[in-house]
A and B are shown apart, each in its own frame.
Chain A
Amino acid sequence: MSDATRLSVFKTYKLYVGGKFPRSESGRVYEVTDSKGKWLANAPRASRKDARDAVVAARKAFGAWSGATAYNRGQILYRIAEMLEGRREQYVREVAEAERLSKSKASAQVDAAIDRWVWYAGWTDKIAQVVGGGNPVAGPFFNLSSPEPTGVVAVLAPQESSFLGLVSVVAPVIATGNTAVVVASEKHPLPALSLGEVLATSDLPGGVVNVLSGRTAEIAAPLAAHMDVNAIDLAGADEDLAKELEIAAADNLKRVLRPQPVDDWTATPGLDRMTAFLETKTVWHPTGSLGASGSSY
């Protein structure tokens, strides 16, 4: 049979939760189209229950992921870049369809996303050296401040930049040892759902990143109110939703990263997406005293 007559096989897009690929427990899907209205796929429409399951998975993964060495996390983030590079064409196609971009523009987005994983792979074992350090307190004490991940972070991925924007908000969260529940772009969820396939084959432990698709407002509300979520990135929320979620987040004083206008996701990021979800821990210890002498040489 020639290629021209062969019928292609469609992929059923599924959620990515706890390292597995479930459908929504609600059984719901919604139609995903390109900007001209052409049908692309039926994406799962995650429910409040799916969101809660994802939080459980993220919490379960937090201990081992935050306890892994920074070097190990860096290796895994770099592995994600390696895996993405090998499936570059697939993402170029998905991004081109989702965002209605030319192939070359979509390629640029995907390349930048791959390089972004590399950028954050390098940060895992450096962020502590840049934002932490010894403090010269006025007394006989050793005093060291170190950053630590805050915990489970709910991430509302940007609505427009379906892949580069997504990677740009997810990578900094997990680079520092947090685990994430990600709500994909509502209109363009397919690249995010496919990312799960790469994460699942990159030695990233299941549950470190969980990807949900559906109505952003519907999924975000239970996440913002969830008492076992430590922080929320509102990148994908509009002004009204962001305010509502920030209010809900106050119940357990979640760390909130408000939506910020991003003109160009390809620009080199700063540190703020990492520091937003880091705690600073300061350890004191007496240094004792040997008397004033010591050795001067």
Chain B
Amino acid sequence: MTEKTTDKRSSAFEYAPAPESRSIVDIAPSYGLFIDGEFTEAAEGRVFKSVSPSTEEVLSEVAQAGEADVDRAVRAARKAFEKWSALPGSERAKYLFRIARIIQERSRELAVLETLDNGKPIRETRDADLPLVAAHFFYYAGWADKLEHAGFGANPRPLGVAGQVIPWNFPLLMLAWKIAPALATGNTVVLKPAETTPLSALFFADICRQAGLPKGVVNILPGYGDAGAALVAHPDVDKVAFTGSTAVGKEIARTVAGTRKKLTLELGGKGANIVFDDAPVDQAVEGIVNGIFFNQGQVCCAGSRLLVQESIHEELLDSLKRRLSTLRLGDPLDKNTDIGAINSEEQLSRITSLVEQGEAEGAERWSPACELPSNGYWFAPTLFTNVTQAHTIARDEIFGPVLSVLTFRTPDEAVAKANNTPYGLSAGIWTEKGSRILAVASKLRAGVIWSNTFNKFDPTSPFGGYKESGFGREGGRHGLEAYLDV
């Protein structure tokens, strides 16, 4: 339904379909694991299918890593570590600069691939994911020969082999956040992409080949949770980095307890987006939409709780609903699409059940008129009003295009409500008053605070959570610490 805009007020003309060509990407019918510079079958011969969530088309069949493969990959990474860590930083830098440049060169191909495998709109992969991926490698490339200036001592040392497990919501970007700082600091890596989105990581393996990266420095193990658990538990892993759910993060923290392994965790969130009565309403509405509907809301730092000052509640909600009616849901490869597919059937059913619970508990559900395609996994943009802090939809991370709207009267009340969550990843503040931004920001228990903007990312800027959103920071100078023996 690329052509559907159901709100007549906002659309004088229908959009013609504007699909990005998928011929730019050549997906092989099958892929192996990438270990020690070679694609190889899984030891047990298992494979799994990667499916396009917007069509349910099988894109490729991918080798599924098991415990024996994890062991093989860790050994390859260990073997590569000695030489890689001994390289002058300036030479490691040049490998990473090469990778950054090759990603830039191949960015349209990778954007289309990511959209096919993940279901997110091409507009996002093309304009957000891929530019950030390249920039991340470029940024950390520059650190590789400047580590003595980073504030971690005169001669900071790498940790060794990093075991990294990443989620499906930003597959290649999360790979970049993990691999770029690890390599810059002289570590070698074994990375497990999510089972629903393994393809861009496998294309990255090919980029490592083009860049001439020494074998074993990067190893990619597509697989399921059991492979991730084996990697985290492997005795020869020195560093564990995980992005994903808080439940799994806690399990990993238990697994590495009592070992030497250094741990960083980027987990869930229930970000509050706080709108004061002096906020510029139109900009705030754009920020709210971006905050919760970017990537179908499948974002750990999403602004999933809207806290509106009571005096502007009605006006803001009217504007917001009007804006939601103009969002275009459909073919993720269409350049005009705002809302793509939900990543998997499993995630769709989780969203559906939480939304049903929201209704059952008495919150008021609203969605714009929106026709969903018959194939694939889809969920219409949704907002809930009459939400209280006790409602499940105000407490649990939904990880979907669902916004819970609450109100407040005073700044103190806004802060108290915003902090009333076990999470602490992100928050937004909308007000024209600078001192209020800074006062509220100083009271919020969250790792990233956006003022009069939302969902902004930059490789120079540290990202990470307070409380049960995890610990450690990725990005910026701070992001080096996770991979250094300090």
A72-124 interface (Cβ within 8 A of B): 74-75, 78, 115, 118-119, 121-124
Instruction: Report chain A residues within 8 Å CB of B439.
Output: 140, 287-290
- B477 adjacent to A126 (CB under 8 Å): yes
- B477 adjacent to A125 (CB under 8 Å): no
Quick one: which of B145, B420, B438 contacts A268, CB cutoff 8 A?
Answer: B145
Q: Does B135 contact A (CB under 8 A)?
A: yes
Instruction: Report chain B residues within 8 Å CB of A123.
Output: 142, 146
Instruction: A183 to B138: give the CA distance in the assembly, Å.
Output: 32
- B440 adjacent to A290 (CB under 8 Å): yes
Taken residue by residue from 38 to 59, chain A's Cβ proximity to chain B (1 for < 8 Å, 0 otherwise) reads as 0000000000000000000000
Q: Does B83 contact A (CB under 8 A)?
A: no
Quick one: which of B90, B415, B445, B476 contacts A290, CB cutoff 8 A?
Answer: B415
Instruction: A32 to B146: give the CA distance in the assembly, Å.
Output: 38
- B445 adjacent to A125 (CB under 8 Å): no
Taken residue by residue from 265 to 289, chain A's Cβ proximity to chain B (1 for < 8 Å, 0 otherwise) reads as 0001001000000000000011111
Q: Does B436 contact A (CB under 8 A)?
A: yes
- A287 adjacent to B146 (CB under 8 Å): no
Interface range for B: 35 or more
Instruction: A287 to B441: give the CA distance in the assembly, Å.
Output: 9
B397-429 interface (Cβ within 8 A of A): 411-412, 415-416, 419-420
Instruction: A78 to B435: give the CA distance in the assembly, Å.
Output: 40
Instruction: Report chain B residues within 8 Å CB of A71.
Output: 135, 138-139, 459-460
- A286 adjacent to B435 (CB under 8 Å): yes
Quick one: which of B135, B145, B433, B434 contacts A122, CB cutoff 8 A?
Answer: B145
B144-159 interface (Cβ within 8 A of A): 144-146, 149-151
Determine how close the nearest CB of chain B comes to the CB of A57; give it in whole angstroms: 29
Q: Does B143 contact A (CB under 8 A)?
A: yes
Q: Does B30 contact A (CB under 8 A)?
A: no
For the A-B complex, the count of residue pairs with Cβ-Cβ distances under 8 Å equals 94
Smallest CB gap from B422: residue in A: A297
- A129 adjacent to B438 (CB under 8 Å): no
Instruction: Report chain B residues within 8 Å CB of A70.
Output: 460
* A118-B94 contact, Cβ under 8 Å, with A75-B138, A287-B442: yes
* A293-B138 contact, Cβ under 8 Å, with A118-B97, A129-B477, A130-B477: no
Smallest CB gap from B458: residue in A: A71
Instruction: Report chain B residues within 8 Å CB of A122.
Output: 93, 141-146
Instruction: Report chain B residues within 8 Å CB of A290.
Output: 411-412, 415, 439-440, 443
- A125 adjacent to B460 (CB under 8 Å): yes
Quick one: which of B139, B144, B419, B434 contacts A125, CB cutoff 8 A?
Answer: B139
Instruction: A118 to B150: give the CA distance in the assembly, Å.
Output: 18
Instruction: A64 to B416: give the CA distance in the assembly, Å.
Output: 44
Instruction: Report chain B residues within 8 Å CB of A74.
Output: 138, 142
Instruction: A294 to B419: give the CA distance in the assembly, Å.
Output: 9
Instruction: Report chain B residues within 8 Å CB of A121.
Output: 97, 142
Q: Does A261 contact B (CB under 8 A)?
A: no
Q: Does A291 contact B (CB under 8 A)?
A: yes
Instruction: A121 to B411: give the CA distance in the assembly, Å.
Output: 44
Smallest CB gap from B419: residue in A: A295
* Binding site secondary structure of chain B: helix
Smallest CB gap from A129: residue in B: B477
- A294 adjacent to B143 (CB under 8 Å): no
Smallest CB gap from A115: residue in B: B90
Instruction: Report chain B residues within 8 Å CB of A125.
Output: 139, 142, 459-460
- B143 adjacent to A126 (CB under 8 Å): yes
- B443 adjacent to A118 (CB under 8 Å): no
- A118 adjacent to B90 (CB under 8 Å): yes
Determine how close the nearest CB of chain B comes to the CB of A195; give it in whole angstroms: 21
Instruction: Report chain A residues within 8 Å CB of B138.
Output: 71, 74-75, 78
- A293 adjacent to B412 (CB under 8 Å): yes
- B477 adjacent to A118 (CB under 8 Å): no
Instruction: Report chain A residues within 8 Å CB of B415.
Output: 290, 294-295
Instruction: Report chain A residues within 8 Å CB of B420.
Output: 295, 297
Determine how close the nearest CB of chain A comes to the CB of B474; give it in whole angstroms: 15
Smallest CB gap from B410: residue in A: A290
Instruction: Report chain A residues within 8 Å CB of B477.
Output: 126, 129-130
* A288-B438 contact, Cβ under 8 Å, with A126-B146, A295-B416, A295-B445: yes
Determine how close the nearest CB of chain A comes to the CB of B136; give it in whole angstroms: 11
Instruction: A118 to B89: give the CA distance in the assembly, Å.
Output: 12
Instruction: Report chain A residues within 8 Å CB of B151.
Output: 130
Instruction: A118 to B93: give the CA distance in the assembly, Å.
Output: 9
Smallest CB gap from A285: residue in B: B434
- B146 adjacent to A142 (CB under 8 Å): no
Quick one: which of A118, A268, A287, A295 contacts B435, CB cutoff 8 A?
Answer: A287
Determine how close the nearest CB of chain A comes to the CB of B91; give it in whole angstroms: 9
- Which one of A130, A140, A285, A288 has the highest number of Cβ atoms from chain B below 10 Å of its Cβ? A288
Determine how close the nearest CB of chain A comes to the CB of B120; give it in whole angstroms: 23
Smallest CB gap from B416: residue in A: A295
Smallest CB gap from B149: residue in A: A130
- A126 adjacent to B443 (CB under 8 Å): no
- B434 adjacent to A294 (CB under 8 Å): no
Quick one: which of B433, B438, B443, B459 contacts A294, CB cutoff 8 A?
Answer: B443
Instruction: A125 to B477: give the CA distance in the assembly, Å.
Output: 10
Determine how close the nearest CB of chain A comes to the CB of B463; give it in whole angstroms: 15
Instruction: A271 to B151: give the CA distance in the assembly, Å.
Output: 14
Instruction: Report chain A residues within 8 Å CB of B435.
Output: 285-288
Instruction: A129 to B481: give the CA distance in the assembly, Å.
Output: 14
- A129 adjacent to B443 (CB under 8 Å): no
Instruction: Report chain A residues within 8 Å CB of B90.
Output: 115, 118-119, 268
Determine how close the nearest CB of chain B comes to the CB of A264; give it in whole angstroms: 16
Can you list 26 A-B contacts (CB < 8 A)?
Answer: A71-B135, A74-B142, A115-B94, A119-B93, A119-B145, A121-B142, A122-B144, A122-B145, A122-B146, A126-B139, A126-B142, A126-B146, A129-B460, A129-B477, A130-B150, A130-B477, A142-B438, A285-B438, A286-B435, A287-B435, A287-B438, A288-B435, A290-B412, A290-B415, A295-B419, A295-B445
- Give me 17 other A-B pairs in contact (C-beta within 8 A), A119-B90, A288-B435 excluded: A70-B460, A71-B138, A78-B97, A78-B138, A122-B146, A123-B146, A125-B460, A126-B149, A129-B477, A130-B150, A268-B145, A271-B149, A290-B411, A294-B415, A295-B445, A297-B420, A297-B467
> Sorted from nearest, which 3 A-B pairs have the closest CB atoms?
A122-B142, A288-B435, A288-B439
Measuring CB to CB, which residues of chain B are less than 8 angstroms from any residue of chain A?
A: 90, 93-94, 97, 135, 138-139, 141-146, 149-151, 411-412, 415-416, 419-420, 433-436, 438-440, 442-443, 445, 459-460, 467, 476-477
